[in-house]
Structures are given as C-alpha cells and as structure tokens.
Amino acid sequence: MKIAVLPGDGVGPEVVAQALRVLQCLDLKFETEMALVGGAAYEAQGHPLPPATLALATAADAVLFGAVGDWKYDKLERALRPEQAILGLRKQLGLFANFRPAICYEQLTHASSLKPELVAGLDILIIRELTGDIYFGQPRGRRKAPDGAFAGADEAFDTMRYARPEIERIAHVAFQAARKRGKKLTSVDKANVLETFQFWKDVVTQVHTEYPEVQLEHMYVDNAAMQLVRAPKAFDVIVTGNMFGDILSDEAAMLTGSIGMLPSASLDANGKGLYEPSHGSAPDIAGKDIANPLATILSAAMMLRFTLNQTSAAERIESAVRSVLGSGLRTADIWSAGGTQVGTRAMGDAVVAALARPGTKTITTER
C-alpha cells in the first residue's frame, strides 16, 4: 500500500504528522512518500501543483492531504494560488465524490452550536459532487482592466454547468450509500431558480427508479441550510452539487462541535481517494500546537476503510478517538465541551496511546 502524503500549508503539516504517527501504530505494512503542494510548492517550484507531485499522487494507492492556502498568496493570479492544487488534484485524479460524515460524539454534544438534544446521536453523511458546477464551468473568468488588475474590471462571471453523466454517477454513489444506512436520501438543489439544478433534480429522480428501497426527497438549498440547524437528525444522506456541498458541509461541521472534527474522503470511480480534514490551513494558528488533528486522523481511518480495505484498522482508530474524547482531552476548538485542554501533539500522543498494538513498520521517503 503506497500513500502519497501532501501536508501542504498552515496547520497542514502539523495535523498530517499526527495522522501518520497513528497509522504507524497499526500492524500494517505500507509505504509513504511526501511531496510539496499548495503555497509550499509555489515557493519552492513556482506552481502549487508541480508535475512531480501530481505524478506521485497519480501513482499512489491513496493520498493523505493536509491543507493549502495563506492570505499572503491572495494577490497571485488565480492559476497560481495554493487552492488550485486541490482543485487540480480532484480534476486530474477524477475524484468526483466527496464524502463528509458529520458525527456528533457523545462527549461533544455541549460543544455544538445547537442544544444537546438536537445533536445528540447525530450521524449524517453529506455527499458533494466535486468536479462540476460553478467551480469548473466553462467559460470561466473575469474581464480584466487594461492593466491586468481586477479592481477596475467592468464584469466578473463564472458559469454553472453539469452534464448528465456527472449527475448520474454522483446520484448512484449517494443512493448506494443511503441503501447501506437509513435508506433515506435528500437531494439538495435550487431548481426553482437555476436551470442547472432543475436538470439535476430531473436526473436524480430518474436514477431513483433503480433504487426503489431508498426514500428520496428533494429540498431547496436555502431550506436545507435552515433544516440543518432546526432538526439536523431528520437527515441521513444528503447529495448535492459542488458549491452547495461546500457550504452545507461546513455548516454541518459546526453541529459536531468543531470543523476540526470533520474528516472527508474524495473518491474516484474505482474507490481510490484523497483524504483530508474539512478545515482549512488556518495560517493564524500554524506552528502554535493548537490545531485539532482529529479530523485528519479520522480521515486516515476513512482512507483505510474506503481505499485500502482495512476496515478493522479503521475501526481501531475510530475507537481510539472515542476513547480519548471519553478521557476528557480537548483541543482548544472543542474545549467548550469541558475537559483538559491539550495541544496538537498531545492529542496525537493520546490517540497513539489508546491504540492497542503499536509498532507498524513503514518506509518513508521525501521528495
């Protein structure tokens, strides 16, 4: 099993380091190879996604990703900004299905932004389409002023676009996921305003005929945003487009107590995936041993389950995380739930200690 490790920027290297420590405590044999990505790659090689990094990610069985971005790069042309690295990886690797589970652990019900009774036992799955929508629509751009700057531009535009095969394949993924859970799927759209999402709604409805055992409901995105904070446990699996999924999954993250608790998996048609925490690079706290590594550790567990077929190892990591939360240890973002506040490294130490059998041997090289 070969894992490409792309720590990235900000807190990315800190949280990825803890996830790697956890993986190394499992009795599995795997190889990891690191490469630069995002702002770190731009500084070293002039591009956020260098060819060598893309080649490594393509050749690997799975990708463990940290985070990219920093405010200091905001004035770069868009093609060179750190965020283009993750968009490029999704597109080049065909990672079209983003799984973002939002689980409120029993010990963190008081850290949620909602009343405990609304989030106790919360376990929902948001499936976001990743390679279409307004993020990739063509043509796409801004009309620049003569000097090449945007400040004096007369117009800005991005186009929203979906093709039938793109909607069909994410719908099949969502129905199959719902079939394994509570057999309820909510498709989120804006069909009352956008032709793109009337098309989305029609295609999802057609795919539903192949999954009669799954209950399908359609919901406008503004209503879905409201229902997520009114009665989140009414949802089971949510499927939606790229932009709406980006927004709703971050909203759902706060129901769990912190976005620092939200892992994610981005999968291709064959189950190969890129695994990353849903939070960003947080440059304001980078290097301060503050960031919560649990989302990245749980993303590593998803990697073991979805791509590397190591379900028991994934369950061991998830059990260790529950044990650590049960012991009362908290990073700053979830400290409102009470307990003992610890830093990034100490939280990683605790998860490592909670694992029953340490000692995995790995071969690690750096690029």
Structure tokens at 290: 């503050």
How many Cα atoms occupy the beta-carbon half-sphere of 293 within 13 Å? 32
Under 8 Å CB-to-CB from 251, ≥6 apart: which residues?
225, 228, 229
How many Cα atoms occupy the beta-carbon half-sphere of 262 within 13 Å? 28
Catalytic residues: 135, 190, 222, 246, 250
Rounded Cα gap, residues 290 and 107, in angstroms: 20
Structure tokens at 117: 């009774």
CA angle 97, 2, 135 (to 5 degrees): 25
Rounded Cα gap, residues 282 and 293, in angstroms: 13
Burial class (CB in 10 A: 0-12, 13-18, 19+), 134: middle
Rounded Cα gap, residues 106 and 261, in angstroms: 13
Under 8 Å CB-to-CB from 147, ≥6 apart: which residues?
none
- Residue 360 dihedral angles phi and psi, to the nearest 5°: -65, 135
